[in-house]
Structure 1
Amino acid sequence: MPIGTPPTSVRPAAAGPAGETARAAAPRTVRGPRRGNLRFPRAERLAPYVLVAPAVLVIAGLRLYPLALGVNFSFTGDGDRNGQNVGWDNYRTLFGDPLFAEAMRNTGLLVLLLPVAVAIPGLLATFIYLRVPGHRLYRSVYFFPAVLSPVIIGAIFNLLLAYDGPANALLGAVGLGPVDWLGDPDVAIYAVVGVHVWATFGMALVVFLAGFATLDTSLIDAARVDGASLPLVIRHVIVPGLARTIQFVVVTTMIGMLTSMFGLLYVMTGGGPEGSTYLPEYYIWFQQGQMSRPALASAASTVLFVVMLAVGLAQLAILRRSGRED
């Protein structure tokens, strides 16, 4: 018997025709399992698609199809031209409307303020992760606003930021003049955005803490042993280690700022003063609910979707490039 032959292949020699039949049948017993094994990789390749198919069908039926209907509806008319194809007329009306122009300027302001909205929960999560005194209490306090309704939050801050409210009383106590937080066109949008950031950063804080759970603590310990200061540890260890988490928080925070501020705007300013706090979502509600112009509202929704898609892709590209450089 040749050296290295598997023991299972050793069979006693059989003489005569019966032995020849046994030897001829032996290869077929080996090839049988091989043919069967070839079926399993194909099934394994199809399994992910089968598992994902229900979710894809739900998204296509409840998201993509209504989105396509909305885009198509934006090319139809309102009022007397209801249902008629009007081409790009709604978009011409949209970009000629000063209120929509103000809403788009405020959208640009939100993009500029996005790093602040992401940095606040990121820094707070860092302090909690480093176990500053009272970190458990801080974690509960920081998350608490996320469970409140925007209507309740808006009503509370209407009282706090009133011209004769506690905020101005505190400023007067330190020798600063009162600020018309919600009545000054140059200040109102910052007040509303600040309240929104305060009310929503609790969710981003939880995401950051989940990201810290995957961070290699030995790198932080090594940086501390080498004498690195906290800013250097954050910049060279924590930020690169949380690159994926930061990408997720940036995109979700931007989407929230563009699509989840209606409640605060409605309660705190109602789009005023002088339309200075209009955002695209509030403009869409105004055209649909107050002016009965659903086709124009659909055009505004389409523009908002395109802006969100472009900003999100640009942010992801920038973050990925910075991650590769690090």
Structure 2
Amino acid sequence: MPVSSSSSVRLAEAGRTDGTASAARAATSRRRPRDGRRAERLAPYVLVAPALLIIVVLRLWPLALGVNFSFTGDGDRNGTSVGFDNYSELLQDPLFRTALRNVGLLVLLLPIAVAIPGLLATFIYLRVPGHRVFRSVYFFPAVLSPVIVGAIFNLLLAFDGPLNTVLGGVGIQPVDWLGNPDVAIFAVVGVHIWATFGMALVVFLAGFATLDAALMDAARVDGASLPQTIWHVIIPGLSRTIQFVFVTTMIGMLTSMFGLLYIMTSGGPEGSTYLPEYYIWFQQGHMNRPALASAASTALFVIMLVVGLLQVSLLRRAGRET
């Protein structure tokens, strides 16, 4: 049958409409992958932005203000620029020099603070006799407040306390654990290690979960002893975990011992247990010298940064050599 002119017009319009719709769908389909790729690229920045904002507002900005404040004066010179006078005074202050010397002692004791949770985690992982006891009690000290821990060990380490009673029972002279300037800092650091090793042990156990079991089986088949297995398999396999624990443990020693120091020794005897954080509190809270305290805080930040970078560098070099 012949097709009318009106029908031809309608068919032509329908064809143009379908062509336009197809072109629109094609354009939309091309835009969607581009939009999806753009969203994927932006997603990490959107997710990280809140954390970065918190770090900048609550960490970096106060740090910058503190550094700036450390170049101002106290007392009659409050608010005026004094250059490096506060830092010069720090270096001349015997208490601050004692605090720096104790920081050096902490660095020397750091391998012990890391080795204790590392060995306990190894015992748990290798299921040596007694590993169930370690798994049951290792985290208990970490949940105690430093005030409670300090009060408990004040009783245990007293000159007439239980520890000296036990030592006297085996013929050893009593030790003035908290009253002897040469011993007190070791006693406080030892208590701190006992109270905080649980967190490091958790990190080590998480690291063991990533250790290649085939290497452990090969060492077992080859008849490697426990020290050989630790040195040649476990330490190289956990090198990144060890680096992390070294840095976090050092930061904890420098910034988390105030509670124990305040309860156990109050910086004594004779200022022998001063650490930078206790010195900062003393200058701010007792001497009302916030600018000098800010200078000490800046010095503490620089110390932590330098020590942390040196530790990472040395551990990486040791990991390559092993």
TM over 0.5: yes
SS in 1 for 2:73: coil
The alignment's TM-score, normalised by the length of structure 2, stands at 0.90
Q: Which deviations, in whole Å up to 9, do the C-alpha atoms of 1:91-132 show, x marking residues without a partner? A: 111111000000000001001110000000000010011112
Q: CA deviation at 1:275?
A: 0.6
2:76 is the alignment partner of 1:80: yes
2:204 is the alignment partner of 1:208: yes
- Aligned CA-pair RMSD: 2.3
Equivalent-residue separation in structure 2 for 1:26 and 1:290 (angstroms)? 79
* Aligned partner letter, 1:268: M
Q: CA deviation at 1:43?
A: 2.8
| Equivalent position of 1:177 in the other structure | 173
* Aligned partner letter, 2:107: V
* Aligned partner letter, 2:39: A
Q: CA deviation at 1:44?
A: 1.8
Q: CA deviation at 1:192?
A: 0.5
2:155 is the alignment partner of 1:159: yes
Q: Of 236, 242, 246, which aligns to 2:232?
A: 236
**Stretch deviating more after TM superposition (213-222 or 34-43):** 34-43
Q: 1:54-203 maps to which residues of 2 (within 5 A)?
A: 54-203=50-199
2:243 is the alignment partner of 1:247: yes
Q: CA deviation at 1:239?
A: 0.9
Equivalent-residue separation in structure 2 for 1:27 and 1:233 (angstroms)? 67
Equivalent-residue separation in structure 2 for 1:194 and 1:29 (angstroms)? 71
Q: Of 260, 285, 288, which aligns to 2:256?
A: 260
Q: CA deviation at 1:141?
A: 1.4
* Aligned partner letter, 1:118: V
- Structure-2 change in CA distance of 1:30 and 1:296 (3 Å): same
**Stretch deviating more after TM superposition (30-39 or 219-228):** 30-39
Q: How many correspondences in the alignment?
A: 310
| Equivalent position of 1:18 in the other structure | none
Equivalent-residue separation in structure 1 for 2:247 and 2:292 (angstroms)? 27
Q: Of 289, 293, 297, which aligns to 2:289?
A: 293
Q: CA deviation at 1:45?
A: 1.9
* Aligned partner letter, 2:81: N
Equivalent-residue separation in structure 1 for 2:252 and 2:71 (angstroms)? 27
Q: Which deviations, in whole Å up to 9, do the C-alpha atoms of 1:130-158 show, x marking residues without a partner? A: 11234233222121011111111111111
Q: CA deviation at 1:28?
A: 10
Equivalent-residue separation in structure 2 for 1:149 and 1:35 (angstroms)? 57
SS in 2 for 1:170: helix
Q: Which deviations, in whole Å up to 9, do the C-alpha atoms of 1:154-181 show, x marking residues without a partner? A: 1111111111111111111221111111
Q: Which deviations, in whole Å up to 9, do the C-alpha atoms of 1:194-247 show, x marking residues without a partner? A: 010011101111111111111111211110110000011111111111111111
SS in 1 for 2:254: helix
| Equivalent position of 2:267 in the other structure | 271
Equivalent-residue separation in structure 2 for 1:158 and 1:27 (angstroms)? 82
Q: CA deviation at 1:29?
A: 8.0
Q: Of 214, 218, 222, which aligns to 2:214?
A: 218
Equivalent-residue separation in structure 2 for 1:262 and 1:279 (angstroms)? 8
2:37 is the alignment partner of 1:49: no
Q: CA deviation at 1:83?
A: 1.0
Equivalent-residue separation in structure 2 for 1:44 and 1:266 (angstroms)? 51
Identify unmatched segments of 5+ residues in structure 1: 1-21
**Stretch deviating more after TM superposition (173-182 or 27-36):** 27-36
* Aligned partner letter, 2:185: I
Identity %: 78
